Chains A and B, each alone.
Chain A
Amino acid sequence: MPVSDIFRPLVVLALAALAAMLVSVSVGSADLGVADTLSVLVGGGSELHRTLILDLRLPRTLSAFATGGLLALAGALMQVLLRNPLADPYVLGLSGGAAVGALLAMLAGAAGFLISGSAFAGAMLATLLVFGLAHGSGSWTPSRLLLTGVVVAAGWGAMITLILAMSPASRLPGMLYWLMGDLSHAGQPWPGLAVLVLVCLLVFPLGRSLNVLARGSLQAAALGVSVRSLEWLIYLVASLLTATAVTMAGAVGFVGLVVPHMLRLALGNDQRMILPACALAGGTLLVLADTLARVVIAPEQLPVGVITALIGVPTFLYLLYRSR
């Protein structure tokens, strides 16, 4: 595929992402017109408007974009690694580990940085646990990794239920919102955006090898790809992406599973294009979903995870139905 064919869809997706972000910072429960928004973005506007847009909406929009991009990219990598269309960033129990970390911190009465730090630690622990267990004494295969991850994820699930059952009622809303995925306390978007950009730059040169790997490890090995080290690299990178995303916004579902599939249905299966396209489209989807979560029943708020599924399910089914 010539390089210009790769870049054309990416430019379209990037423009869509910018448009979605502009919509997202313009709407909210406080009524600001597009003119007010634009005047703030070019450096004017009243103090209240500047606070609303620059301190509240813009960081949240960028966090949404980063989270969606990280999850979609992680999902695409997991699907290549496990060669399983049902794989998503959470399939190996990473979000479960993060959730146990975050919920334990909330149960102990922690707030802010302690919760996200604890979530990140839980995600890393889950990654290492699956890494170690899947290695075992025998040989390492994607199906072994998948089974190990799924069983470990079930274990995390049981612990989450236990924590929820033991928690006082006043702590439950915070916990449930975390589990559903919620961007209202995402904090600074920069770490997430930095990880997203760095990983995109890292995986782009690997595109050809990933294309071969997606067809099967035997073909890949026959064509001179160092399969084992490539697979571990994908696993670690996808884990880092997912851990960063759940640390920012909790376990936002669906983006990581569906965005890569949607793009494959629309654009074909060239990883050099799919991976950056996932970062852009995943980010755009989550920005739009979070905008809806803020305004659907404004001034009350919904968790963004509800909206990703509500938008994603029909869109995905439509694309699947249309494809031959």
Chain B
Amino acid sequence: MITVVAVLGLALTASVSAAELCATDALDRDVCLPEPARRVVSLSPGATELLFSAGAGDSVVAVSAWSDYPPQAAELPQVGDSNRLDLEAIVSLKPDLVVAWTDGNSRAQLDRLAKLGVPVFWLAPREFEDIALAVETLGRLTGHTPVAERTAAEFRDGISTLQATYRDSAPVWVFYQVWDQPLMTINGDELISKAIALCGGINVFAGLPRLVPRISVETVLAADPEVIVTAGRGDSDRDWLASWQSYPSVTAVARDNLFLVSPSLLQRPTFRMLEGARELCGILEQARARL
């Protein structure tokens, strides 16, 4: 009850400061709300996390499948998998804001939702700053500006601290393994690669044209990374790292620079990336000591 009152109170202050709430989304569309959204449907696990970071967790009425963080998000009703949404379920929830993600949701499907008069706000964070901005915008659209600005500032501070700490560190060549069958990595545009750069690392495959390129073992041997990092299949599964042991000619293997990162921290562009980046920077620091 207290939280409801608090939400209403914040909503009122926000609506006083702006008669109509407008924001431009990742598709360059202006989304305008008559008043702060109180029934929000999140269509991707990342969007769910950003909404909770913006302080709007109590306004989220439904989420897409795999929305498992924060824990209370997993309790919410689900409206389908990101790429197979149940439009009927969404419409019958009468949301006043739907938050979508360009990498997972279908434009064609959600344009039908927009035609029905449901405001759809698209997110596509490609930089750390985009994540902070997304939280601030979601905070504004849901009437939680103070919380959103505070958490966004913490995130920005954390990132710039890491940047300042590792700016002059010796560069290390990193191979980040996304999957093993087929073997996949990331190029320089992916946020994980930007986290590697933040820690003074260089992604050996940064220059490849596709975001998540499929490569061969041979290519990795030829690139000769100094560090191999992967999240494995989750649950501290070191199988993938163990399979690199058969190639002692790779510097990362020779120096025992094979590391596991927590999958949940780096793989979604949300505020948890800061924690993931800290973990990664610690790993690269260990790797430097072994080179």
User: Measuring CB to CB, which residues of chain A are less than 8 angstroms from any residue of chain B?
Assistant: 28-31, 47-48, 51-52, 55-57, 109, 111, 115, 165, 168-170, 173-174, 177, 182, 184-185, 294, 298-301
Contacts and interface: CB of A to CB of B under 8 A. Distances in A.
Interface residues of B, number: 29
Contacts of B184: 173
Contacts of B247: 51, 55
B71 interface: no
A52 B182 contact: no
Given A165-B84, A184-B216, A170 B179 contact: yes
Given A51-B249, A55-B246, A109-B233, A177 B182 contact: yes
A78 B143 CA distance: 68
A298 B223 CA distance: 13
B249 A300 contact: no
B222 interface: yes
A75 B221 CA distance: 37
B217 interface: yes
Contacts of B214: 173, 300-301
B83 A169 contact: yes
Interface of B: 66, 82-84, 104, 179-184, 205, 208, 210, 213-219, 221-222, 233, 239, 246-249
B210 A51 contact: no
B245 to A, nearest CB: 12
Contact of A174 (B66, B83, B104, B179): B179
Contacts of A48: 221, 249
B236 to A, nearest CB: 14
B182 A29 contact: no
Given A47-B249, A300-B210, A111 B218 contact: no
A257 to B, nearest CB: 25
A29 B219 contact: yes
A111 B208 contact: no
Contacts of A168: 66
Nearest to B263: A170
Nearest to B84: A165
Given A47-B249, A111-B239, A300-B215, A174 B181 contact: yes
A186 to B, nearest CB: 11
Nearest to A182: B182
B222 A177 contact: no
A168 to B, nearest CB: 7
Interface centre among B182, B216, B239 (most CB of A within 10 A): B216
Nearest to A49: B249
Given A48-B221, A51-B249, A111 B215 contact: no
Contacts of A182: 182
Contacts of B221: 30, 48, 51-52, 56
Interface centre among B180, B184, B219 (most CB of A within 10 A): B219
Contacts of B239: 111
A115 B248 CA distance: 27
Nearest to A46: B249
Contact of A56 (B210, B218, B233, B248): B218
Contacts of B180: 111
Nearest to A50: B249
Contact of A173 (B182, B246, B248, B249): B182
B82 A57 contact: no
26 contacts: A29-B215, A30-B219, A47-B248, A47-B249, A48-B221, A51-B221, A51-B247, A51-B249, A56-B216, A109-B233, A111-B180, A115-B181, A165-B84, A169-B104, A173-B179, A173-B184, A173-B214, A174-B179, A184-B216, A299-B215, A299-B219, A300-B210, A300-B213, A300-B214, A301-B182, A301-B216
A51 B239 CA distance: 20
A288 B205 CA distance: 27
A111 B181 contact: yes
Contacts of B104: 169
B183 A298 contact: no
Given A56-B217, A300-B210, A30 B222 contact: yes
A168 B233 CA distance: 13
